[in-house]
Every structure is written in structure tokens, then in C-alpha cells.
Amino acid sequence: MALYAATVFLSAFLLFLVQPLIAKLILPWFGGSAVVWNTCMLFFQMLLLAGYGYAHWTTSRLKTKAQFYLHAALLIAAVALTPTVPPEWLKPSGSEAPILPILTVLAVTIGLPYFLLSSTSPLLQAWYSRVHNAAPPYRLFALSNFASLLALLAYPVAIEPYFPVRDQALIWKIAFGVFGLGCIYTAWRASTAGDVAPVETEEVAVAVPAPPTGRDYLIWITLAAMPSMLFLAFTSHLVQNVASIPFLWVVPLSMYLLSFVLVFDSDKIYRPGIFRIATPMVLIALSYGIYQSSSDTRLHYQLAAAAVSLLVFCTFCHGELAKRKPHPRYLTMFFLMMSVGGAIGGFLISIAAPLYMPGYFELYVALALFAFASLMILYRAHWSSDILWTAAAVCSVVLAVTEIRAFADGSRIMVRNFYGALRVQDSTQGTDKETWTRTLIHGTINHGLQFLSDNRYLLPTTYYGPNSGIGLAIANTWHMNHRVGLIGLGTGTLSSYARKGDYYRIYEINPLVLDVARSEFRFLKGCRGTCDVILGDARVSLERDPVQNFDVLAVDAFSGDSIPVHLLTKEAFELYFRHLKGPDSVLAVHVSNKHLRLGPVVERIATSLGMKTLSVDNEEIEDAQVFSSDWVLVYRPGAAIGLNALVTSAGEPVPPRPELRTWTDDYSNLFQIWKRD
């Protein structure tokens, strides 16, 4: 038993350790979008399905000797052929639709190892059951999920902060080689035990139940699909307005895995009588909490509510699933149906939601589907649970309708793609048409506003007023033929600063943003200088561009209120300054954020590069639709801007925080910059 347990534990640990690792490796290639993680999760779930299908096919169709030779050959091929990190030739151009390139990168880099790791748990459980003709080996499934949970928790706490990401990849590949040897040895031991298990007595044979029915398969799939759908929907809800980083991916997935450990390790933890009552009550409370919450709700409250609710929901689903687990003879089919359900849940959130929902509605829809599916499965289980689940279903539908209607109310257009959901709204209250405005909203965050009046449409608004950090940087470095680079288009507001002879080069990853800026706003059309928009991730584009000699380069690439972390690393800043001209050029970084203090991050990077910083926080000007905003200006020592009284009087150097470690492509730490007050 110890040999099987050790092999299952190591396989599951490596299986879930590679998930945040590979996602972090490829995030900079695809713009740091939160949906990268969901696409990765869909890939993992599809390979998990393939691995379980392989385990079911081999154990039901091949003799144990043939299973050993096939599995050993695949393991050797995986160790020999798998690259340590994604090869550069897979790097996207930045202009194509990203889902297929992401899946291609993942398939080439970790496809075969992940497939084999996925098949390990059901294979070894089947081998153990056959060789020992013993009690149901479902505790090995609980052990594999416990190992997966440890890997996920270890990554952001004990691995990511201390090891460069390329070293992590090398260590993982070495560990996979060790696992391969152990798995081959375990397979050989199983194959030497023979193809036929000890003959069952007549009494035992009679006790073996009939094969599962089609209804059993449907219930297994549904109970597996719902938690998969819920944890991905919760993940999207959390990361769209904070940052697409491993920590925020790990928390929902940890709750998902913990529920497996709780219900499959012991029959005593999941109590149907309690959970069938408590779960709909939690769903009702969560629906009310989401309805009452606002975009200003602190991250730790959102995270705590999401974690507790998700753990309850997943424990309920997986507990009902564990109650329905079949005889070990049908074990591999049971796991195969579970993986089918997981893949369906992943597909609905990762692919169907961005394609068919114009906004971030997946959490509300997932909660409603969960309530109705649970009501159908448990109907007539007990009158009290029927009443509570009916009430939960009604509450979840009311929440979904309310939130979707609030999102759509007054919107001129609503569009969505891989990178996010956009809507445009007009504000035409009052009789004074000079005050009428049009706004672009990404998720829940204002990404630009323009006056509709012909007299005011080129006024810089929102975070880009004349007294903002970027407004001062442009005004105080201006000369004839001024060159300005902008990372993040929004509505194109900053192009209003261009004068005749100036050149503005804007990097924008989302083609929908460009379409909306051109069709719904007039900043780009009214630009007095020359303005080019380059589609694709800014870092990828800047790496390929010839030196641009910008006088000012502004970094303002938000997705909702989420920060693409790969644009706030030392390597990124080195790239920015490669494109800045002369000693007086300025890098302006927009650091306004509801949840994170990003100024100290910029200061640590600037200090590591020998640069100076100036924090500029401007006040709101309501009549001009100028918002308060936080910018950090980064410049070379001795630059004219550092001596300019107008600029320095508007800001002050960012206070250093020596305890912070400089963010790099290998390292970032969200915990240290949370706004907890």
C-alpha cells in the first residue's frame, strides 16, 4: 500500500504544482489576462479527461503486462522529449486570437507529462484493487487530492517567492523524472502479480452490484460539473479586478480540492442531513451579500466569502458524488464520468461564457444553475430541503437578473472577448448639453470618458487631467515633434494632448477596445498629431519594435482594475527605458487601484535601476470630469523634470519600503501591498 500511496501522492503533487508554474510562465506572452488561467484550467481538465479515459481503456482492454510496457514507454518519452520551459518559437505574434495559441503552448510544453500524471491515480487504484482484491481504494483518491492541495498552497508561499521561475521548471522536470521511475516500478510490480485477481467466492460475487445505469452517469457528470463551473466562476470574479496572479488562482482551486479530501477520505465528514439544509442557506446568504456589495468592498472580505461559500458548495456536490460511488469494479468509469463533468464545467466558463455572454455574468449564472441542478437531484429527498433549495434557486435567479439588468441598463453597446467585457454608456441628464458625456466601462471600472459637446470633446478627462501625473509629464517635457508612447488605449483620451507635429504610439492588446474607441469616441479622430495604434501585448510589441526614442512613455494597461503584473517588473522597466530618449525623458506609471498599493513596487524597481521617482496624486475636478488619480513618474537622476518646480510641487518622492523585494518576471508578491485598511 505504501508504494501505491507514495506514487499517487507524488503524481498529484506534481500535477497541481505545474498548473500555476506553467500559467505564470506564459502569462507575459498573452497580456497577463485573467482568462489565461481559465484557459489553462480548461486544458488541464481536458487532459484529466483524456488521462482518465486512458486509464479506463487500458485497465479494461489490455493485460497487465501490456499496460506496463505501454505506460513505461510513454513515461520515458515524456521525460526525454518535454522541454523545461516553453520554447521561444511558440511565442505568439500578439495579433491572433489567443485561446488556440495558449492551448498549443501548453500541449507542446507539458501535454504528455500532464496526461500521464492525470492517469496515475485511477490507474494505480485499479491496479491496487486488482492485485490485492481488497477493500475499495477510494482513500487513494483522497490522498491524491490532499497532495494536490499541498502543491497549490506550497506554490505561492514556499516556492514562488524563493525560486526563479526557470529554476522552478527545471526542478519540476527533475521531480517528474523521479516520479517516472517510481511509477514504472509500481507498474512492473502490478504486472508481475498476474492478469487475474483471486477468484471471488460465490457470496462475494453475488454482492457485486449491477453496472451503473445511464441515470447514474448523468448524475455523476452533473455533480462533477457544478463545482468545476463554480470554482472557475469564482476565480474570474476575483481576478478580473485585482490581478491575474497565482495566489488568487490558488484559493478557489484549493477549496475545490479540499472538498474532495474531506468527502473521499472518510464517510463520516459529509452529513447529507446537514449539508442539504446548510448549502442552500449559504447560497441565499451569498446572493444577498453579492447584491449588497460594491466595487469598493475590500479584497480580503471578497476572498473570505468566496472561499467559505465555495468550500460548502463543493463539499455538498462532492459529498453527494461520494455517496454514489460504485463498486471498485466500475472505479475507472466513475472517475471518467467525473472528469467529463469537470471538463464540461470548464468549457462553460472558459469558452462559452466569453463567447456568448456580453458581460461577466458567469458567477450569477453558475449559482443559478447550481441551485436548479441540486433541486432536481434532491427533489423529494425531504420537504425542508425542497423548500430551501427552491428559495435558493429563486434568490440566485433574482440576483442574476438584477445584476445583468444593472450591467445592461443604459448601455449603448456591450461586447466581450478573451480580454474582457466592455460597455459604453451615455450620461445625458440635465438641459445643459455641454455636460453630457459618454463613458467606457471595462468590467466595473471606468476606462475613459468624453464630453459629447463639439466644444469640449477634446478635453482630457478622468485619470488624465492636466494636473495628473501624466498630464504634468507631457506638458513639462514637450517640445516640437514630441514623441509619446502609451501602453493601454482606453478611449484614447491621452491622444488629446497631441499637437501638430507630435507622434503618439499606442499599444493595445484588445482589438475590441480599438474598435470601440474608433466607433464610439472621438479622441482618436480628433487627434491633432500623428497617432498609431499597435495591437498586441505591449511587452511583446516593444521587444520587436526598433528604438522609439519616446519623450514620455505611460503605462496604463488595466483590465478592469486588474494589473498585468508582467508590465510591472524590472525586466519590463528596462525595456521601457530602452525606448525612452535622452536624460530628460519620463516613464509615467498609473498606480490607482482599490486593492493594492503599487507605488512602492514602482519605487523598488526604479531604485534597483538607479532611477528617481515622484508620486503625483491630483484632486478631483467634478465639473471637468477629472478624477483623482495616482501616478508615479520615473526618471533618470538629474533629469530636468526632477528640477521643475511645477512638477515637484505637485508631488513627492515615493517613500521607500526596503522590506519589499524587487518584482521581476520570476517574482511578485501580492500580500505585501494589499490595502487592508
Residue 579 has pLDDT above 80, yes or no: yes
**Residue 447 placed within a domain:** no
Torsion angle of the four alpha carbons 154, 158, 159, 160, in this order, in degrees rounded to the nearest 10: 100
The predicted structure's pLDDT at residue 201: 41
Sole residue written with cell 523634470: 641
pLDDT (average), residues 516-528: 96
Number of structural domains in the chain: 3
Structural domain contains residue 428 = no
Using one digit for the tens of pLDDT, what is the confidence trace for 284-326? 999 998 888 765 666 677 888 889 999 999 999 999 999 998 8
- Average pLDDT in the 114-123 region? 89
Same domain, 188 and 225: no
Q: What is the CATH number of the domain that holds 95?
A: 1.20.1250
CA gap 337, 340 in Å, rounded:
5
Check whether residue 56 and residue 165 sit in a common domain: yes
Helix, strand or coil, per DSSP, at residue 146: helix
What pLDDT is stored for residue 199 in this prediction?
Answer: 40
Cα-Cα end-to-end distance for the chain: 50
**Segments forming the whole domain that contains residue 237:** 212-409
Residue with grid cell 515622484, as numbered in its chain: 614
pLDDT digits (tens, 9 = 90+) for 471-503: 999 998 888 899 999 999 999 999 999 999 999
Residue 280 and residue 389 in contact, taking contact as beta carbons nearer than 8 Å:
yes
Tell whether pTM > 0.95: no
Last residue of a domain, one of 165, 196, 227: 196
Query: Is 422 a domain residue?
Result: no
Per-residue pLDDT of 393-445, as tens digits, reads: 999 999 999 988 888 888 899 998 877 789 999 998 888 899 999 999 887 78
pLDDT at 197 over 50: no
Largest CA distance in the chain: 96
User: What is the rounded average pLDDT for all residues in the chain?
Assistant: 86
Residues 185 and 270 both lie in one domain: no
| 383 lies in the same domain as 468 | no
The pLDDT assigned to 323 comes to 92
Return the pLDDT at 584: 87
Whether residue 339 is found in the same domain as residue 381: yes
Asked if 584 and 629 sit in the same domain, the reply is yes
Region 643-656: mean pLDDT is 78
Specify whether 572 is located in the same domain as 496: yes
- Note the pLDDT tens digit of each residue in 153-182: 888 778 877 788 888 899 999 999 999 999
Residues 396 and 492 in one domain: no
Write the pLDDT tens digit of every residue in 26-65.
877 776 666 677 788 888 888 989 998 998 899 888 888 8
- Does residue 531 share a domain with residue 483? yes
C-alpha cell at 553: 512613455
Reference 581, options 604, 550, 614; nearest CA is: 550
Residues 28 and 2 occupy one common structural domain = yes
Q: Which one, of 422, 420, 540, lies nearest residue 34 by Cα?
A: 420
Q: Kindly report which listed range (95-104, 239-248, 571-580, 663-672) carries the lowest average pLDDT score.
A: 239-248
Q: What is the pLDDT of residues 504-518, one digit of tens each?
A: 999 998 899 999 999
According to DSSP, the β-strands at 503-508 and 483-487 are parallel
